[in-house]
């Protein structure tokens, strides 16, 4: 069964999410490894932009009534996800496109991961210790540390997700499914 193709709006939102999240992950690596305040500023500004893109993605998903596609947590959806998951080990790639299945389920997990990073990042910005955060509260060290640790662990999950996402997209391309053309160029 061929899936409903992605519409241009979904392609645009997906592309914006890819670019902003990848920029965030890369600048986050620089921030974590070096003490360069300008990179923290870049990461912060990109984080706010990425948060806006994530909110737009959620609104787009809601407006299209695709919440169930990304989160097929009813019996029929989970049965299909489970079936497609085990079929991968038999050499059969999951379906693709705008339909309930393993691919959309994984996209939903990725959206939750980047949303968690956005929330923790914005909260970190609000409570930066030393009176530099939006709250201007200099006693927020414990909260900041908890948020920073959660943000870091979520980044590991998102890096893992991104690697798997790229791997399976490349595998689909190698096997002739031409997903990238459909997603980024809107061509069948």
Please count the CA atoms within 13 angstroms of the CA of 67 that sit on its side-chain side: 6
> What CA–CA distance (Å, rounded) separates 45 from 64?
29
Mean pLDDT, the chain, whole residue set: 82
- Calculate the alpha carbon distances from 58 to 10, 39, 41, 113, 118 in Å: 11, 28, 26, 13, 13
Containing domain of residue 133, as a range?
8-185
pLDDT score of 143: 81
The number of folded domains in the chain is 1
Q: In the chain, what percentage of residues exceed pLDDT 70?
A: 82
In a domain? residue 3: no
What confidence tier does 98 reach under pLDDT thresholds 50, 70, 90?
A: low
Distances (CA, A) of 1 to 49, 86, 94, 115: 37, 18, 11, 31
pTM for the whole structure: 0.83
Contact 103, 29 (CB under 8 A): no
Is the residue at 112 inside a domain? yes
More confident residue, 167 or 1: 167
CATH code of the domain containing 144: 1.20.950
Rounded to 5°, angle at Cα 63 from 57 and 64: 90
**Residue at 146 is within a domain:** yes
pLDDT in tens, 42-82: 999 999 999 999 999 999 989 888 788 888 888 988 898 89
Give the model's confidence band at 1: pLDDT under 50 very low, under 70 low, under 90 confident, else very high. Answer: very low
- Can you say whether the dihedral through the CA atoms of 138, 142, 145, 150 is positive or negative? negative
Q: Considering only 27-41, 85-99, 158-172, which range has the smallest mean pLDDT?
A: 85-99
> Does 24 fall in a domain?
yes
Model confidence at 138: pLDDT above 70: no
Q: pLDDT-derived band of residue 102, with 50, 70 and 90 as boundaries?
A: confident
Cβ contact 6:97 at 8 Å: yes
């Amino acid at each position: 069964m061929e899936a409903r193709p992605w519409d241009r709006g979904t392609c645009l939102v997906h592309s914006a999410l890819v670019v902003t999240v990848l920029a965030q992950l890369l600048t986050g690596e620089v921030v974590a490894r070096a003490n360069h305040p300008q990179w923290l500023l870049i990461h912060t500004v990109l984080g706010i932009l990425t948060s806006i893109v994530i909110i737009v993605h959620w609104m787009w998903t809601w407006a299209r009534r695709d919440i169930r596609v990304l989160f097929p947590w009813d019996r029929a959806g989970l049965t299909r996800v489970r079936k497609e998951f085990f079929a991968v080990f038999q050499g059969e790639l999951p379906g693709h496109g705008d339909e309930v299945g393993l691919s959309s389920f994984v996209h939903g997990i990725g959206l939750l991961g980047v949303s968690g990073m956005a929330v923790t990042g914005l909260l970190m910005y609000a409570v930066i210790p030393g009176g530099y955060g939006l709250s201007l509260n200099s006693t927020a060290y414990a909260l900041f540390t908890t948020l920073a640790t959660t943000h870091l662990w979520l980044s590991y999950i998102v890096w893992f997700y991104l690697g798997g996402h790229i791997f399976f997209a490349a595998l689909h391309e190698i096997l002739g499914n031409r997903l990238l053309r459909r997603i980024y160029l809107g061509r069948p």
